[in-house]
Structure 1
Amino acid sequence: MFRRARKSLHETLKDALHDTPSEGPVDVDFYRDFYSDLRDLNADEAAHHYREHGSREGRFRSRDHLDKAGPQMADFDPAFYRQYYDGIKLGSDEEARRHYQGYGAREGKYPNAAALISAMEQEQKTLPDDFTAGEYLALNGDLRRHLKFEWEAAFHYLRYGRWEGRQYRRWKDETVYDFEYLHRKTLHVYDMPDVVVDPQRPPTVNVLVPAFDFGSMSAGFFGVFQVALFIKRCGINVRLVMYDEFQFDEQLTRDKLKNYPGLEDLFDVLEFVYIGDREKPLAISPHDNCVATVWYSAYMARKLMNARGGGKFLYLIQDYESPFHPSGSLFALAEATYSFDYCALFSSKALQDFFLKKQVGIFAREGTNYTYFNNACSSVLKPKDEFIKVRQSGKKKRLAFYSRPPVDRNMFDLGALALCTAYRDDVFPKDEWEFIGIGLGEATVMLDEDCEMKQMERMNLREYQEVISTFDIGFCLMASSHPSLLPFDLSGSGAVVVTNSFGVKDQTYFDILTEGVIVCPPDVPALVEGLRRAVSESKDLDRRYSNAVAMKFPRTWDDTFNDEHELFMRTVFKDAIQQ
């Protein structure tokens, strides 16, 4: 197992690049051979390129220059480099070394697993000293099929596993289940930060934000932040409260938010505070209220409301979350929150209807105040001439698969099996389609022995919007009454979408919001037939475009909220407004 780097290898690299010897002659033969993007230049052009561009870009002009000022290679791991940067075609370890020396080092790529994990630890929280890859995979059998390399286990734990509450070590018979460990196992729902009442505080609505990182941030967080901004627009003071223990860096977060349209000035518009370190209690006014945004935050919401003397908080329900956990402690704790004292804001009519039909928690009795909204999707519909021209250019058609192996409710195994079956049954005409995975994880899906689905790297919202309009078919599964947003991102961009039915989420539900969505039972033969139908319907470009234009699902947050939502907020938070 790798251990932490003695010194950040990126720091070592920076030291080396800033210690460049004085300018000398350009070895044009070396320069052209070493940099594959320059091999078509003649000698004069190569020398000119170095003087005008190469020197400023940090390129090496000769073998001697590389030896003296290049990155340290003693700790370079070519196997890791080829695994982690599998989007770069590197046929051998030597090619990996040359790429790192010539391009990777100055682009900030990681030379080995220790450097990757060290960088993640600086952004988040350190890897436990007793973490081992073998133990983590043994305890989480669903990961063994997807994580092929030892370093991937640590990567997964830091990015996803810790926040999912995954176990990384066995507790032996002699191990003491002490107070601290038991609170950690139950996500600290009975050990939330302290709350104190300060009469000098202005009445505020506290939006409870769980731990997050931009590497795995999903649309649910966009919903949390946009609801907070809407409450602010209703004339109420709003504060984002980061109550979980995680590595929160204000400046880093501000910088990252610049790539999320509509959230660029989030920390300028709203008050915010991080209390996950428990150094200070959360100070509230006697008239404060709050918004629970995930099931375990409802325990913090209940604690806050009790501190101010009682009252109903607002529960932002973006999924039915109890089934996220196997039957056990966390399932029971999540289910209990739906019987707390609250008003509900559902992020889709389908989800609201599910809670009403199943009489979940307080919805088994009358008197609950609730409403729903639809999260704005991120569809991008190009002008019709451009839309059609691109798809008649002879390029391969593109299918997007919602590929999220770590998230059980996205039914990765079922979807991948249906996709492989459809491919082998010649649903997709040979050499006419390419297949791209969108989501979380680094899973490799082999449609047959010769065709591999490409996994798209995690993107920020701006990058995502550049890509979403390029697909012809979307294949998105969700074992939930929430439809998820990707079907609308794709449908609103002109793709034909195949998804699954679940509870009240059926063909009628989607037809009301958007045409061009094919809803199938979550069954491989049915999904294969859905894909076959999608291939046929994808040929009608005029109809696809018309369906996209006619979509009724909101495309912007300005389209999401209306006067009824404002009245709802002002009713729920009337104490904060009156004061």
Structure 2
Amino acid sequence: MHRFYFIQDFEPYFYPRGSLYSLAEDTYRFGFTHLALGQMVARTLAREVGVESITVPFGNDTNAYRVIGGARRSGVVFFARPGTDRRGYELGRLALQAFHALHPEQKIHIYGSKVTGWGIPLTQYGSLTPAELNDLYNSTIAGLALSFTNITLVASEMLAAGNIAVVNDHEFSRTVLTNPEAHWAPPTPSALARALSAVVSDPHILERSVRAAAATGPSWADTQAEVAKHIEEAVTCRT
């Protein structure tokens, strides 16, 4: 039997250096054929573990996330995921508190987990369906899309809906997210707050929104086709 390992992120980075880190890292030495989702995963596997992989494109759901004609935009949005530090929840909270001080007129929309103790007005939704998320992205100007390992799906989905994603600047994210309208900022509360401020204050934001939605990149259908092709090729060669 030919064994494949579909790798969506470099999972040792989910843990501090120690037992769990080492055990997660060792799974990449089992001898499976590695299918790496995006260049970040492939390059990290090679650098950190010294193993080869086949890279498949990091896709985007271009059916669910798209611009809705006539939608009016205001405010910003953030996917809150407390307890998952690589998704930058605490950094996002501090950045949005600083952003509120700069732009108290802009509503801050939170989805994912319900949060408390921020000390500023929030509009909270909890879990949303893709259709509801697309509506939210279309009704807001910008979004905070933070990740410190592989890029979050949220960034490309926001951009596909014409929402300008503000992303923490790091080689991991830049390797995968190529949309020219993504707004990169250093991962500090003040820098992220200023980046959000620059986006909501941009007099040409409508044109930028259109450009963002037009530069969606590969779809998940492209990824599926690549995965199927590599599996079929490997199985055919083995038999």
Once residues 68 and 181 of structure 2 are traced to their aligned partners in structure 1, the CA distance between those partners, rounded to angstroms, is 17
Q: What amino acid is aligned across from residue 457 of structure 1 in structure 2?
A: G
Maintained 8 Å contact 1:475/1:499: yes
- Residue 460 in 1 paired to residue 132 in 2? no
- Residue 437 in 1 paired to residue 121 in 2? no
Displacement of 1:559 in angstroms is 3.8
- Residue 521 in 1 paired to residue 186 in 2? yes
Instruction: For residue 354 of structure 1, give the secondary structure of its aligned residue in structure 2.
Output: helix
Displacement of 1:475 in angstroms is 0.5
Pick from 57, 68, 72 the counterpart of residue 382 of structure 1. 68
Instruction: For residue 33 of structure 2, give the secondary structure of its aligned residue in structure 1.
Output: strand
Inter-CA distance 419–545: structure 2 relative to 1 (3 Å threshold): same
Q: What amino acid is aligned across from residue 381 of structure 1 in structure 2?
A: V
Displacement of 1:465 in angstroms is 3.6
Once residues 509 and 538 of structure 1 are traced to their aligned partners in structure 2, the CA distance between those partners, rounded to angstroms, is 28
Q: What amino acid is aligned across from residue 499 of structure 1 in structure 2?
A: V
| Residues 310-459 of structure 1 mapped to structure 2, 5 A cutoff | 313-356=3-46, 359-363=47-51, 368-377=52-61, 378-383=64-69, 386-387=70-71, 390-391=72-73, 397-424=74-101, 426=102, 428=103, 430-431=104-105, 433-439=106-112, 441-444=113-116, 446=118, 448=119, 451-459=120-128
RMSD: 2.5
Deviations 1:172-211 (A, max 9, x none): xxxxxxxxxxxxxxxxxxxxxxxxxxxxxxxxxxxxxxxx
Deviations 1:246-299 (A, max 9, x none): xxxxxxxxxxxxxxxxxxxxxxxxxxxxxxxxxxxxxxxxxx44xxxxxxxxxx
Deviations 1:433-457 (A, max 9, x none): 2111122x321253x5xx3222322
Once residues 326 and 565 of structure 1 are traced to their aligned partners in structure 2, the CA distance between those partners, rounded to angstroms, is 31
Percent of counterpart pairs with the same letter? Answer: 23
Q: What amino acid is aligned across from residue 570 of structure 1 in structure 2?
A: E
Inter-CA distance 491–320: structure 2 relative to 1 (3 Å threshold): same
Pick from 211, 223, 233 the counterpart of residue 546 of structure 1. 211
Pick from 180, 199, 223 the counterpart of residue 560 of structure 1. 223
**Paired position in structure 1 for 2:152:** 484
Q: What amino acid is aligned across from residue 434 of structure 1 in structure 2?
A: K
5+ residue gaps, structure 1, are: 1-287, 290-312, 392-396
| Residues 201-280 of structure 1 mapped to structure 2, 5 A cutoff | none
Q: What amino acid is aligned across from residue 407 of structure 1 in structure 2?
A: T
- Residue 571 in 1 paired to residue 233 in 2? yes
**Paired position in structure 1 for 2:201:** 536
Deviations 1:227-258 (A, max 9, x none): xxxxxxxxxxxxxxxxxxxxxxxxxxxxxxxx
**What is the TM-score when the length of structure 2 is the normalising length?**
0.86
Q: What amino acid is aligned across from residue 83 of structure 2 in structure 1?
A: P
5+ residue gaps, structure 2, are: none
Inter-CA distance 509–464: structure 2 relative to 1 (3 Å threshold): closer
Inter-CA distance 379–538: structure 2 relative to 1 (3 Å threshold): farther
Maintained 8 Å contact 1:473/1:538: no
Maintained 8 Å contact 1:345/1:373: no
Deviations 1:517-576 (A, max 9, x none): 11112122322221222222375212311331233242xx334344x5443111333378
Once residues 160 and 49 of structure 2 are traced to their aligned partners in structure 1, the CA distance between those partners, rounded to angstroms, is 35
**Runs ≥4 residues deviating over 6 A:** none
Q: What amino acid is aligned across from residue 414 of structure 1 in structure 2?
A: L
Maintained 8 Å contact 1:520/1:527: yes
Larger radius of gyration, structure 1 or 2? 1
Inter-CA distance 355–473: structure 2 relative to 1 (3 Å threshold): same
Inter-CA distance 534–324: structure 2 relative to 1 (3 Å threshold): same
Range moving further from structure 2, 345-354 or 400-409: 345-354
Inter-CA distance 456–541: structure 2 relative to 1 (3 Å threshold): same
**What is the TM-score when the length of structure 1 is the normalising length?**
0.38
Inter-CA distance 538–338: structure 2 relative to 1 (3 Å threshold): farther
Once residues 50 and 30 of structure 2 are traced to their aligned partners in structure 1, the CA distance between those partners, rounded to angstroms, is 7
